[in-house]
Structure 1
Amino acid sequence: MYRNCNNILVTGGSSTYVARGSVVNIHTSRPDVSFLLFRQLKDHVAEGALHNSGEVSDHPKCHPGTRTAILEHLETWTRALTYIYPIIWLYGPAGSGKSSILRTIAQILFEQNLLLASFFFLRSAPGRNSSDRFIATFAYQLALSVPPTRPYIEAAIEENPLIFSLSLWDQAHALIVSPLLAWCRDNPTDEYRQKYPHVIIVDGLDECQDPNKQCKILQVLCRILRTLPIPVALLLASRPEHHIRSAFDLGNLNRASSRLALDDSYNPDADIKKYLNERFSQIEQHHRPYLPISPWPSPEVVDKLVTKASGQFIYPSTVVKFVGSLRHNPVKRLDMILGIIDAGKFRPFEELDLLYTMIFLDIDENDRVDVLRILGVLLVPYKEDHSGYRTPAFLEYLLNLDAGDTRRMLFDLESLLSVDSDHDPVRFSHASLGDYLFDRSRSGQFWIDAGKVYADLAGHYTIRLPECKELPSFKGFFHQNISFFFSNATPTLELRKAIESCDLATVMSLSWRSTSLGLFSDNTPMLLQAIRSSAFSDANQLFTDKLASYAKIIRPKIQFYFQVIALRHFLIATVVLLGVAPVDNHEFYFECLQSIFIRTQLSSEDKYGDESPRYQFDIPELTVVQVLKTLFEDNSVSSLGYFLDDNQYGDIAIYLVTFITHHSSDVVLPLVTVGKCMSTMLPIFLSKSPIRQDLLEKIKHTWPHLIDPSYLHFDSIKDALMTYVSRSGVRFCGKVGTF
């Protein structure tokens, strides 16, 4: 209104302004009019938005001794004579303590007469959740902080009673900029800093309902600062929402502002630990009869709570508020927080849950199901050897999403997480978010069923498995997690369809090596065993159906082994021995089996002897062993044609008895090493063998003088031989004893 004022003349009880050739008179001698005009301004003020209003001041400020570095930084900045960057944007995730910091610094500045105006937005408070009362509230505080501006503000209202319905900038120009310019034209600007406050504080901009209005407020505030010839500064705090961040990236706002992130740079963990220890100490003083003699809580529990807070103060604040209830036992209340005992009807995380719920309510309803699906996959626990599995690129490949879908779906959750590049993991600001989402009593309509997430993962892995060569990391993740996914999955219709439609032939063709001996490097048994461990009521039938398909496909592989005696013995012995041996010993036993059967027996067969050095075997996965063991030994699937009769075991037993009488020079392992393996294997095959004359004769003619003495050090070998002979009912004598 007072733009381009040529002069200001004050005579008696009135002020006269000449603006653009027009004369405006303000009659300060009419207190009744002044009162009514100021009352009109007051009626458009958001009273609860001021830093010292009951609504704001009742909320906590920074705990004494915490956030000292950032508060000192802000105090130093406010006292600068000039500002290279007159705007500071303090940003951080939801619940990180931004409002506590601004409430604290606002009170400090107010006591030092440096606070010009403040506005604390709050989504749930009428008047504080929109831009409607923002400029009027600012102007009201300006009139109180800089009294000479009050008559100019009243004059603007008198001239245009509808001023509060104008655009934000038109309101700001008439009620803030012009009154200050009017003062500046009559006074040296240097005097302003000596007499009046100059810092504006705006908190929770993201809680203003309309994102477009949030950006408009930023533009208006920046324009106010650029227009005024006096050094006014703005401290503004918000969550790092995309549109706010974009506004700070561009134009005058970018050039006039610096950013202050509430991240690990200010060591929030140390502040949170100090806060927890001091508050628990206060609780201890009020609840001494309830507390144990030992230190409570233990340092380990405090550290656990600090970790769970993830640098965000709302978590420890919620914990302390719940545990410190005067009407309850704090030990039990803390155990509820830690999940040691059931919380029952109590809601330990009510404040935190409300924060999460408010954020999730902002998600577009059309996207909500997809957003929760992506969050479920990102948050459920599973094994991972690197962080590449929780990236947008990997998720979009796995779940068959379009490129960019992850970023788009998580757009409204930037106060809880960050999405950087497609190949960087999604980073969560709150470690407790998963606790909220996976607990139906806390998250309600936003609950994520972890069992269905695992079903989703298991189903998509089953569908995507035939394509695993396109993404090498996929195969590694499959190996680590497929059994875990299936065993924890809810038995959904989608998962059943994925199992039934999976083409095992394609899976096997991609996982086998080119050599015909690649049976041990097959991934398919891992999938079969995972299906067997699933929660479907007919899981065994699903497994058997798939096993039948598998049996047909691997027949050529099995036949290749079975047409060579040494390879047949090696395959059967591998399946039998590794099927009972601890997994930690598989590598040791497998090396011994190759020495016993491949380097010794195979090299003695003229037809294949020259080729034996070319046979390379991978240590089989346990699932490969388990599936082959089912085919060889489970009578319920004998119709598939792989069931072994007793004589197969008898043939191997004869070979093993022969082996221990003539330790071949082809065996490069020490005899004691092979003996340890033999002490486990020979008893198994003798126990499975039928009573056969040729096996009895072999034992009779080798016991004990032809057996290498090193093997006789193992009682299990001697006992197995005697037990087998005892089963036959035959008795004969030897130097060691009588059978």
Structure 2
Amino acid sequence: MPILASSQYITLNNGHFTDINNSHFTDQSAEVINNISLANGSAGIDILLEASNRDAAHDSKARDYAPRCHPGTREQHIEDIVYWAVPAAGTDNALPLFWMKGPAGVGKSAIAQTCAERLKKLGKLGATFFFSAKGPDKAAEFIPTIAYQLSTEFHEYRGLVDKRILRDKAILDKTMATQFQAFIVEPLQELEKAGKGIGQRIVIIVDGLDECESTDDQCRIIEIIAAAARDGITPFCWAFFSRPEPHIEASFSPADVAQITCMTLLPISRDADSDIELYLRSGFENILRRRNIPLKSQWPSDSDMQTLVEKSNGLFIYAATALRVVARPGPIEEALCAVCATSPDRTSNSPFAELDAFYMLIMQRIPSEELPAILLLCMMLCRNKIYAATGGYRIGAMLQRNMLSLSEIQFRAVCNQLSAVLHFDDRSDTFDLTQFGDTGRPFQRATSALTEKLRAHVIGELGGSIYFYHKSFYDFLIDSTRSGIFSVRSLAMDNVYFKNNLGLLFKYEESYCFQESGLILAPGVPDSAASLSWPYINELVNSMLKACVYDWALGGCFSYIHLPWIEPQLMWDFGHVDFRKVLGSGTMLFAEHSAPLISWSWGHRGYSKLIRGTHLFRSLPNRFQESDAVKFNAIIKKMQKYGIIQPYYSNFTARFKSFVPKKFQDKHTSGLYRIGHGPKSCVWYWEINFRVGYYREFMAPNLAEGQRICEEEGFNLWNKETHSEEEG
């Protein structure tokens, strides 16, 4: 169930994802670079742009609400960084690397953003990359993003990079070290030889490196850049901002790296009290101004201000959250008193004790009747690491609302309760629907290209977006020692989440019926809006929204099915889901002639494709791990225990096993099952080989159709190229 089980972690932004490893899954209409489909004839720079992360730039639209230093605050830190970046004339041996480290909430990203804007005005900024939690391939975007931004600043460099990509388009599938050499080092060396070198110290800012998903990639980025800086082969100086994670500390600690790095610690310190007080006073003045409340006397009082500064304990995020609490609709004096009255756990030695007490206050003030929906919303946001306006992964607000089965009034009430920590950007929808023609028809009648555009919009943008203002609230919610009964990582919340998704599956499947291999509205169901708690204004979008909710609900159940504490009755109920309609939903969402998608299945990352109602999946090379297979085996046993799957006896597995070379068969295992019950069931076949390290599966309405499609596609466990390499 690769597409269906994991689609909630995949955002397709108008792209076609295609197997680049000699797969039978090919799209003849486009070239595929770094899993990105582009029209034939694209310029090299256009290809580079598609491989980059546009939201990572300091001035991207996604960073409209990014934190910045309040005027007059953090001036010494900003001046120190600018002086390092633009040393005084005659200064020798200016260090090429800078690293500001510090815990969450002290203002590192605000300083990085402010420095980027200031250096841009000085003409000394080359590129920026603001990491955020987005997806597993974040590191793959790093070098292309830096290179693309540099190409917009230096014309001659742009031409060389353009030619380099056109000469070898596969460069975007190679290692970061190879890309750094090809996109950064070699073009600059060529310009230098031609007497057109950049010839000045240019700054590249990298913020939130610890947010890059892979710790290995974090270290690799530092190693590549440090090596170039040590050898002096580029004119760039690099400024890093991150938490002091042990592996990052270790990467900066070798003598040959430390001696070329200016390191500074931004601690949780009371030295920031004066800056925090200035920030708070300005914030309270803005609150009074927005409410048109002219005061002759000072408010807050000096006593209250001192209390807030002390509670901030050096954390700007505390001060920012306090201002948002007081700014909420309602009596501002009462809100201020509540903030000042919070009391931390006196037994805690955590520097976040005051912040935790503040977050507890916010959660405790939520009315009991609204708390379940709020916790479920928080859990969904935490599952996808949706925090801060730094270009991270987003979920459209309308998708979230309907996942929670909330009306517009209910959803806005929920968001209002969390307004101090949650941003709800409900800006008007600017998506162009005219390209679809008749918006009164369901999306199934649109072309596959338009369907992909609409799906990406519904998943990521429809109805605006919501996210936590700061990662510190995410950290609070997922740590039960800090958030207690409000933690989203608990046995009870896991069951609530599973039950919510299961309820959506049963609700939505009743409103569908089959037509050929796809789904249409069942008789008596007037339109897609009838199933939605908060519908859009036309059938085109509503039909897509409904299909996405259905698909996400299934993915939510499958992603939690391995947990041993999911209630037995919920597991038994899950076995009665209509899996044939689930398969039909995939037929609707993922056009049969579209290129394969990057997705997940049972812990394996790979390519999946839908053909005539049958889902195919194969793992990516070098991404298979035996530990995943152990977990997978436990899931198989659990699903059999609760009747979700039953063995399907056939000679099919024996015939499929014959595709595997004899030398690998001792490490080969496979399974053929019926998933679901009676007319609601489908056939599910999977294969694993530990020797070669591959996983394959298909899910089909019936065995004969699945077998026929596998044979037509050449969907064997390994292709001939892999066999010959292993046997040779």
**Could you tell me the TM-score, scaled by structure 2's length?**
0.42
Larger Rg: 1
Larger fraction in helix: 1
Larger fraction in strand: 2
**Could you tell me the TM-score, scaled by structure 1's length?**
0.42
